[in-house]
Amino acid sequence: MVRKLLAGVALGLLTLAVSSQAFAQADVIEKRQAAMKNNSADAKAIKAAVEKKDYATVETKAKDIMGTADKIVSLFPKGSTNGKTKAKPEIWEKSDDFAKHAKNLNKAAGEVAAAAKSGDETAVNTKVKALGDACASCHKQFRAEKYSE
Ligand code: HEC
């Protein structure tokens, strides 16, 4: 009787542990997708600001992307694949390469900020294009076309 009860409690705890882990993963996935959405909002703001030659805004938004880029690797903890995600397994199989892409984003955004600060229109245009490429090349390799569920 007691044994049965204990087994029941153990099973209950196990279920609880598994489901709270699933919740934790959903949180992790949502958090990184929110960071990516922020990247996207920044990139859009940069494009709009470039058209208006509002280089102060370009610089601020580019610096925000630099900050996000620094966090990318930690936003993708190993095994965080349970949930609605486009993260490909290659992120963890080729983690050095993934980290390199995150670093490259930081560099590309830094160059946009520097160009904006200098006010050199040609440089701003070139660096903004390179920033877009830094997003796209990582997505091409590490982001799936569709959500996992
Ligand atoms: C180091 C790789 C990497 C870089 C660089 C990167 N991304 Fe992403 N991005 C990803 C991955 C991986 C996902 C899929 C995340 C998921 O679904 O869990 C993603 C998802 C997204 C999403 C979809 C978010 C959602 O809600 O599903 C947007 C939008 C996005 N990225 C925008 C950007 C923009 C804009 C940049 C450049 C300023 C950028 N990303 C740079 C890897 C990257």
Q: What are the structural domain ranges in the chain? A: 2-142
Fold of 2-142: Four Helix Bundle (Hemerythrin (Met), subunit A) (1.20.120)
Determine whether the shortest distance from the Cβ of 75 to ligand 1 is under 6 A: no
d(CA 103, CA 93): 18
Q: Is the pLDDT confidence value at 31 over 90?
A: yes
Ligand 1 binding pocket includes 134 (Cβ within 6 Å): yes
Counting from 1 in the atom list of ligand 1, the atom nearest the Cα of 29 is 18
Ligand 1 atom 22: residue of nearest CA: 36
24 pLDDT band, cuts 50/70/90, is confident
Please write the tens of the pLDDT for every residue from 111-144.
999 999 999 999 999 999 999 999 999 999 999 9
If one counts every other C-beta atom within 10 angstroms of the C-beta of residue 65, the result is 25
State residue 95's pLDDT score.
98
Q: Is the CB of 63 under 6 A from ligand 1?
A: no
CB-based contact 114:133 (threshold 8 Å): no
d(CA 72, CA 138) in angstroms, rounded, equals 11
Task: State the Cα–Cα distance between residues 32 and 149, nearest whole angstrom.
Answer: 17
Residue 53 predicted with pLDDT over 90: yes
Mean confidence (pLDDT) of the chain: 93
Place of tokens 């990247």: 39
- Summarised one tens digit per residue, pLDDT across range 54-87 is 999 999 999 999 999 999 999 999 989 989 999 9
For residue 17, the CA-to-ligand 1 centroid distance in Å is 29
Expressed in angstroms and rounded, the spacing between residue 50 Cα and the centre of ligand 1 is 22
pTM passes above 0.75: yes
